[in-house]
Amino acid sequence: MESQKGLLIVFTGDGKGKTTAALGMALRAAGHGMRVLVLQFIKGAWTYGELVSLKKIEEIEIKPLGTGFTWKKENLEEDRRLAEAGWREAVSEINGGRWDMLVLDELNIVLSLGLLAVESVVEVLGNRASCHIVATGRNAPRELIAIADLVTEMKVIKHPFLDRGMKASKGIEF
């Protein structure tokens, strides 16, 4: 009998809390002995605090993808090539059957910037097996939202960077 398809979960919106919500879910799953792989689409999106903590949890593995993005208009083709190479790695992990949960941190950003083709990402995620998939990042494309099981939009009510020009706080942002 085919095992049940995993859930596709999307955390999007302008408000803070998308990556940390995905991490909370990874932590929850790890407590059940579930194996979790976290793929970081954007280097630097993850900081010291969570990297140090996650290394202590043996059920959770972290893998950086897409290092070297330039984010420069004149290098769009190079960034696209890097995003595609990262995505190929993600696909082999999604289809490899080793994981109970996969976090695709900042995938939504890479899609919304047009660095990856939404149709091919939607096709792979739509054909996932029993592994749960959590995608984070602002501006999740509607095609991804359409096939997701759970979508939460974080909405800014207040943020100290915006309201008070405050710098990033230890334990809160990094």
Whole-number Cα distances in Å, 91 to 54, 102, 104, 137? 23, 11, 11, 19
Q: What residues make contact with Mg ion under the rule CB under 5 A?
A: 18-19
- The pair of structure tokens assigned to 67 is 């290092």
**15 in Cβ contact with 157 (< 8 Å):** yes
> In this complex, which beta carbon is closest to ligand ATP, that of residue 126 or of residue 152?
152
Q: Which does 156 bind (CB under 5 to 8 A by kind): ligand ATP, Mg ion, none?
A: ligand ATP
Q: Using the rule CB under 6 A, which residue among 51, 57, 147, 162 binds ligand ATP?
A: 162
How many other CB atoms are there within 10 angstroms of residue 167's CB atom? 8
At 101, phi and psi to the nearest 5? -145, 140
Q: Which of 28, 43, 98, 159 is close enough to bind ligand ATP by CB under 6 A?
A: 159
Contact 172, 33 (CB under 8 A): no
- Per partner kind, with CB cut-offs from 5 to 8 A, the member of ligand ATP, Mg ion, none near residue 112 is none
Answer yes or no whether residue 166 interacts with ligand ATP by CB under 6 A.
Answer: no
Answer yes or no whether residue 43 interacts with ligand ATP by CB under 6 A: no
CB of 95 to ligand ATP, least distance (A): 26
CA 164 to chain centre: 28
Interface contacts to ligand ATP, rule CB under 6 A: 14-20, 45, 136, 138, 154, 156, 159, 161-162, 168, 173
